[in-house]
Amino acid sequence: MEMNDELVTTGAEVTEAAITNEAAITALAEQTAVLSTQLGEAVFTANNIWMMLATALVFIMHLGFAGVEAGFGQAKNTVNILFKNTLTPVIGILTYFIVGFNLMYPGFTEPGWFAFGGFFLELPENGNTVDYAGGGYTYWTDFLFQAMFAATAATIVSGAVAERIKISSYLVFTLLFVGLVYPLIGSWKWGGGALDAMGFYDFAGSTLVHSVGGWGALAGIIVLGPRLGKYVDGKVVDKPGSSVPLAVIGVFLLWLGWFGFNGGSVLSGDPALTSLVLVTTSLAACTGALGGFLAGYVVFKRLDLGMVLNGVLAGLVGITAGADVISPAESLLVGLIAGVLVVLSAVVLDRLRLDDVVGAVSVHLTCGIWGTLAVGIFGTGMAFMPQLYGVLICGATAFSAAFLIFTVLKATMGIRVSAEHEASGLDSQEHGIRGYTITYE
């Protein structure tokens, strides 16, 4: 009997221990699930905060573009330039909301060349996140981040065609180019379209943003023609900008904004990848400045600040396509070559009598092409031919569309101001105020 009592007692203790262990395991599992949920929410919040900050940095680039264009432009056209640079992001964001976002991210059922997800924005079925970004941030944050890119593509054109284009024609061009052309081309890669299936790679837009804008700028200066008195008797006549300090401030604002432009294109707050992208971006900007400085000295026999500034931007544009797949050491070479190319490109354009006020074609088109091809040369696991095909396809489409728009506008509305207005300055003729007013008592 004593043995039986002991067995009963021991069995009860084992059962009680088992129940206790099971309860502990259940409690631990519940705690783990709660912690996992909290961790997921924390990561989601961190990603979204970074993406919102990146959006703000890209937005500030519009102030940088305004500074560069107003600084490099003549004083008599300052208000006109700033007027365009103020309305460009306005048009870009609104058109992207109405049609651009769903044209760029239409949800291709299979890789193709055209699809449309409908007008305006509508939350996806999975709620307030985005499937194609791994649910790393909110749908609204994604829209605003992408809208800033769209407006940037249009701003590139503004600087090239400055000082002689009609405001009305420029605004109509911007409406069509940023509302339809840019998002359509972007959908071929970033929206999962045909170029993406082809293996084409463009991390943050050397081609999809910068070259597209650069092709639009090239079409614009061809159709418009040069400013009065820019090319006389085979010589290039310098037209001094209104403010060198303003141009310098603009370039540094653009460099700052590029941390969001490239860093935000990671599409998460991933510490390792974001840090790498920011390092390659900055290194390329530095060597781009050196390339512009050295090439400018060789070509022009002077310490050309303008070429140093455009060299910084050239390096930034050049690294944008592969900032996540090119090593820091290789980014030095990418930036240096871009800095040299921007000088050579500016010389060639002047010899062809193609008047680009701020060097937008040289910076964004020439260096955008170089940066995209550099991915196929230096990028880890990347192939060259898909990069070349992407450059050619996007270039042919963007240039043809922009040239058609400008040509139609020239034949209907007219795209160039009168010779009288151009000579006296667009500020007084079209806006009634001057950008710089000096009074003496």
Q: What is the DSSP string of 237-273?
A: PP---S-HHHHHHHHHHHHHHHHHHHHGGG-S--HHH
Whole-prediction pTM value? 0.89
- Tell me how many degrees the CA angle 406-90-258 measures, rounded to the nearest 5: 90
| Residue 79 domain-assigned (yes or no) | yes
Q: How many CB atoms lie within 10 A of CB 440?
A: 3
**Sequence-ordered alpha helix ranges (H) in 201-327:** 212-224, 244-263, 271-300, 305-320
| Residue 314 domain-assigned (yes or no) | yes
- Intra-chain end-to-end CA distance of the chain, in Å: 120
| Residue 21 domain-assigned (yes or no) | no
**How high is the pLDDT of residue 128?**
55
The answer to whether 361 and 414 are in contact (CB under 8 A) is no
**How high is the pLDDT of residue 257?**
96
Least Cα distance to 381 among 326, 317, 329 occurs for 326
**How high is the pLDDT of residue 336?**
98
Q: Which residues of the chain have pLDDT under 50?
A: 7, 126, 131-132, 439-441
| Residue 327 domain-assigned (yes or no) | yes
**Tokens 């569309």 appear where?**
401
What is the C-alpha to C-alpha distance for residues 83 and 4, in angstroms, rounded to an integer? 97
Q: How many CB atoms lie within 10 A of CB 436?
A: 11
What is the C-alpha to C-alpha distance for residues 102 and 283, in angstroms, rounded to an integer? 35
**Tokens 């310490």 appear where?**
303
Q: Which two tokens stand for residue 24?
A: 């502990």
Query: What DSSP line would sit under 130-172, residue for residue?
Result: -GGGTT-SBHHHHHHHHHHHHHHHHHHHHHHTTTTB-HHHHHH
What is the C-alpha to C-alpha distance for residues 246 and 171, in angstroms, rounded to an integer? 24
- The set of long-range contacts for 346-354, using a CB threshold of 8 Å and a minimum separation of 24, is 346/307, 346/310, 347/299, 350/231, 350/236, 353/226, 353/230, 353/231, 354/218, 354/221, 354/222, 354/226
What is the C-alpha to C-alpha distance for residues 40 and 34, in angstroms, rounded to an integer? 10
What is the C-alpha to C-alpha distance for residues 340 and 292, in angstroms, rounded to an integer? 5
* H/E run at residue 82: helix 78-95
Q: What CATH number did the domain enclosing 278 receive?
A: 1.10.3430.10
**How high is the pLDDT of residue 341?**
98
Please report, for residues 10, 11, 222, 342, 411, the alpha-carbon distance to residue 14 in angstroms, rounded to integers and kept in the order given.
Answer: 6, 5, 90, 80, 94
Query: How many domains is the chain partitioned into structurally?
Result: 1
**How high is the pLDDT of residue 17?**
60
What is the C-alpha to C-alpha distance for residues 296 and 314, in angstroms, rounded to an integer? 13
| Residue 28 domain-assigned (yes or no) | no
Please report, for residues 70, 213, 226, 349, the alpha-carbon distance to residue 160 in angstroms, rounded to integers and kept in the order given.
Answer: 12, 10, 10, 12
The answer to whether 237 and 231 are in contact (CB under 8 A) is yes
What is the C-alpha to C-alpha distance for residues 151 and 96, in angstroms, rounded to an integer? 9
| Residue 81 domain-assigned (yes or no) | yes
What is the C-alpha to C-alpha distance for residues 117 and 333, in angstroms, rounded to an integer? 41
| Residue 114 domain-assigned (yes or no) | yes
Q: How many CB atoms lie within 10 A of CB 18?
A: 10
**How high is the pLDDT of residue 16?**
62
Tell me which residue range forms the domain holding 327.
51-431
Q: Which two tokens stand for residue 54?
A: 């990146």
**In this structure, is the dihedral angle defined by the CA atoms of residues 12, 13, 18 and 19, taken in order, positive or negative?**
positive
Q: Determine what percent of the chain falls in helix, strand and coil, rounding each to the nearest 5.
A: 75, 0, 25
| Residue 276 domain-assigned (yes or no) | yes
Distance between alpha carbon 28 and the CA centroid of its chain, in Å?
47
